[in-house]
Structure 1
Amino acid sequence: MTAVAIAVFVVAYLLIATEKIPKTAAALGGAGIVLALGVTGSEEAFFSRETGVDWDVIFLLLGMMVIVSILRRTGVFEYTAIWAAKRAKGSPLRVMILLVLITAVASALLDNVTTVLLIAPVTLLVCDRLAVSPVPFLIAEVLASNIGGTATLIGDPPNIIIGSRAGLTFNDFLVHLAPLVVIQIAVFVAVLPLLFRGSFTVDESRVAEVMALNEREAIRDTRLLIKCGIVLAAVFTAFIGHSVFHLEPAIVALLGAGVLVLISRTRPEEYLAGVEWETLLFFAGLFIMIGALVHTGVISRLAELAAHATGGNALVSVMLILAVSALLSGIIDNIPYVATMAPLVADLAAGLADPAHAQALWWSLAMGADFGGNLTAVGASANVVMLGIARREGYPISFWEFTRKGAVVTAITILLSAPYLWVRYFLL
């Protein structure tokens, strides 16, 4: 069964990467095969936290998609798009930098998937106003979201798993990872002109048109905007106060969506039109295939080989976990990878006498998994969501188009993370 699980995943992954067939069809087809052949069963696929569909992710996405769908009716995205374009004086590069910084900060305070759902409509509108392709902007934002989300406990789903397993608090993540993230974002902004060179040409007449616009005129429904603002404030407060309220983000998102649907009296066909059903189904199929790899012991075996190759050396262990996590998280999605790797890191940490070295293992796992999520189009949930939005809006981004940019950014962030870990936890 192990060989079957590997073969199905490899074939499905190749189909997704080459785009020979729609990626949702490839993911669901692979999931159907491992279920039909008994590689994994319904219990493991639908009810297990370790090997099944991550329903927290699915319902978090669903709830936020409904909220964003209703919010779109207010005109606030058009308002923000015009505001951003005017503050950037119509320069596409300055617009990209502004949106990247907003995305990075928001991803640290919320989570990167929620941030992507909120920032994508703004990006599409501002690019439409300036008559430039939104593809480079969308790619830059999702890369920034994965970097920014690394800074806090709630910013990236793998961090929640690590925090729970290692007993790390919101403040722990802020103190240990936020300084590095600030450096990473500064470097990322600096390389944007090179990474997306040729994407910043704009017609001056379009710039003049944008500068003449009044963003306040974009708001179509003030009362609905107030209602959305109240619900979003409550949702964001619950996200940030996760450790206080003990409510999972998925529950918060669904409650927020339900309340907003009720008080806005939006018809089902209106708020459901904004749900990325293909993206949700793709996630389900991908989770089941990866769950089959976990269930048959493939991922555990890979993680064990990596962990035991260090020979007990703390620095080698930290650097190996960083590198392996970046590579594997980019290939199989960082959420199931971290869920599998966490127990092994806990065992390694328990065997180290120096608490700083032990904690460095957890930070290397977080950095590798979060930054490694940028490696490919399926490395992180935010990537899949952003590509789904782009495809629906008529701007499809291929697997390789994303990965060419993502691989460069992943290499930069990992190369910056290695000396940070060495200096902070082994030299100081």
Structure 2
Amino acid sequence: MTAAFAVAIFVVAYILIASERIPRTAVALGGAALMMLLHITDARKAFFSEETGVDWNVVFLLLGMMVIVSVLRQTGVFEYAAIWAAKRARGRPYRLMVMLVAITALASALLDNVTTVLLIAPVTFLVCERLNLKVVPFLIAEVMASNIGGTATLVGDPPNIIIAGRGGLTFNDFLVHLAPLIVLLMVVFCALCRWLFRSAFDYDPRRVAEVMALDERAAITDRRLLWQGLGVLGVVVAAFVLHPVLHYEPSVVALLGAGLLVAATKVTTEDALREVEWPTLVFFAGLFVMVGGLVETGVIGGISRAAADATEGRPGFAAMLLLGASAGLSAIVDNIPYVATMSPIVADLVHQQGAGGGHVLWWALALGADLGGNATAVGASANVVVLGIAARNGHPISFWHFTKYGLVVTVVTVALCVPYLWLRYL
């Protein structure tokens, strides 16, 4: 009976999160509260258990990176990068899109993709207005690039952080196993942009002269803070890469970097914390408690055993099934709760299959969940953020307008993952 209650709470919460009728943070907190109220879990298991409690490594990694990005945002460095790209593109629309897409993908690999699109979107409006270009295709291309680029690293997309925590994977693991494929996917995506958004590449010589007159250096408002922020970010990324040597968890590194940046600069604690997405962090905590309830009642274990029986120990079949199912489900619902639910199941499958076929399942889950988020307007948090920005600026993007491009990009990118996973691991 306890298991039935746990499943009912989670399913209802999942539906409410997908429908977006109620704020997802409120749903996650409500679901976590019901899990405790019905004694499905308790405070000790929810707050202190590594297996069934809140993954504080995930929460504090996000908190630390949000603080670092908050400080960098005050320097104008992202605006500088976008204007620089526009001038280097010589005002050519397609060349400009490729450069903005490349910057977005690279930034999303190092930072959170939601933060990246929040920073790059306002500059996109500015540049497109100066060049008299349609801004919607650029926004859609950028958000898709953020989802693709964020797949390459542990910190690029929240689902990867969850996967790393469950799978014991490091920053270097993601770089070695996913980054080469993501570089290929970005090349293919840039070629797709030429075809998908061909009607948006109108060239206006008079407007080009205006954008060439912009001074990107004027966008930098605090040079000293810029160098301090970039220095700390560089050290943090280096520490991520050197995790096998230093043995510091990414959450510890991010918090140390955030603390150093606030302590060593004139930025106040209030300013640094103002940009932190507290609802997102609370959402994570509530979600972990709900998933922990499913683990406690044996629901996750039962699903794991059924999945293992279905795949009959065949890692190839399991990986392809996981890739396709993850892409399809992440197109419909937010990929964060999906990965939080699936990661303990995949962990059991990895354990059952042993070292021979293990890691491929983690990469199949990451690729399916991250790339599947491009399929629809609600598939990833970054998509929803960009649609909101576009609407507030008088350029609304409908669900189906986004989806008609997203489905093409998702099908192509996920299809390319199949031979990569098969040839490299199977």
Shorter-chain TM-score tier:
0.7 to 0.9
Q: Look up the match of 1:211.
A: 212
Q: Look up the match of 2:126.
A: 128
Distance 2:62 2:135 in 1: 22
TM alignment of 1:16-415, pairs within 5 A:
16-91=17-92, 93-108=94-109, 110=110, 113=112, 116-118=114-116, 120-131=118-129, 137=138, 140-151=141-152, 176-193=177-194, 207-327=208-328, 331=333, 332-349=337-354, 355=356, 360-361=360-361, 363-372=363-372, 374=374, 383-384=380-381, 387=384, 391=388, 394=392, 408-415=408-415
* Helix, strand or coil at the partner of 1:275: coil
Q: Please list the CA deviations of residues 284-316 of structure 1 after superposition, one character each: whole Å capped at 9, or x if unmatched.
A: 333333333333333443333222112344533
* Helix, strand or coil at the partner of 1:309: helix
Structure 1 residue 215: deviation in Å? 0.8
Change (3 A) 1:315 1:231: closer
Change (3 A) 1:404 1:71: same
Paired residues of 1:151 and 1:181 also in contact (CA < 8 A): yes
Change (3 A) 1:401 1:262: farther
* Helix, strand or coil at the partner of 2:311: coil
Structure 1 residue 363: deviation in Å? 4.4
Structure 1 residue 365: deviation in Å? 4.3
Structure 1 residue 48: deviation in Å? 2.6
Change (3 A) 1:404 1:56: farther
Amino acid at match of 2:284: F
Distance 1:265 1:222 in 2: 13
Identical residues among aligned pairs (%): 56
Distance 2:400 2:29 in 1: 21
Change (3 A) 1:272 1:15: same
Amino acid at match of 1:384: S
Paired residues of 2:68 and 2:261 also in contact (CA < 8 A): yes
Distance 1:305 1:376 in 2: 30
* Helix, strand or coil at the partner of 2:27: helix
TM superposition score normalised by structure 1: 0.79
* Helix, strand or coil at the partner of 1:338: helix
Amino acid at match of 1:214: D
* Helix, strand or coil at the partner of 2:85: helix
Distance 1:18 1:270 in 2: 33
Give the total of aligned pairs.
415
Distance 1:406 1:419 in 2: 21
Structure 1 residue 212: deviation in Å? 1.0
Distance 1:94 1:225 in 2: 27
Change (3 A) 1:169 1:7: closer
Residue ranges of structure 2 left out of the alignment (5+ in a row): none
Change (3 A) 1:219 1:367: closer
Paired residues of 2:143 and 2:383 also in contact (CA < 8 A): yes
Q: Please list the CA deviations of residues 131-177 of structure 1 after superposition, one character each: whole Å capped at 9, or x if unmatched.
A: 37866655544543443344456655666777788787777655554
* Helix, strand or coil at the partner of 1:279: helix
Q: RMSD across aligned C-alpha pairs, in angstroms?
A: 3.8
Distance 2:375 2:282 in 1: 22
Structure 1 residue 234: deviation in Å? 1.6
Distance 1:298 1:339 in 2: 11
Distance 2:283 2:136 in 1: 21
Q: Please list the CA deviations of residues 24-54 of structure 1 after superposition, one character each: whole Å capped at 9, or x if unmatched.
A: 3333333333332333322233223333333
Paired residues of 2:52 and 2:292 also in contact (CA < 8 A): yes
Amino acid at match of 1:347: Q
Paired residues of 1:142 and 1:386 also in contact (CA < 8 A): yes
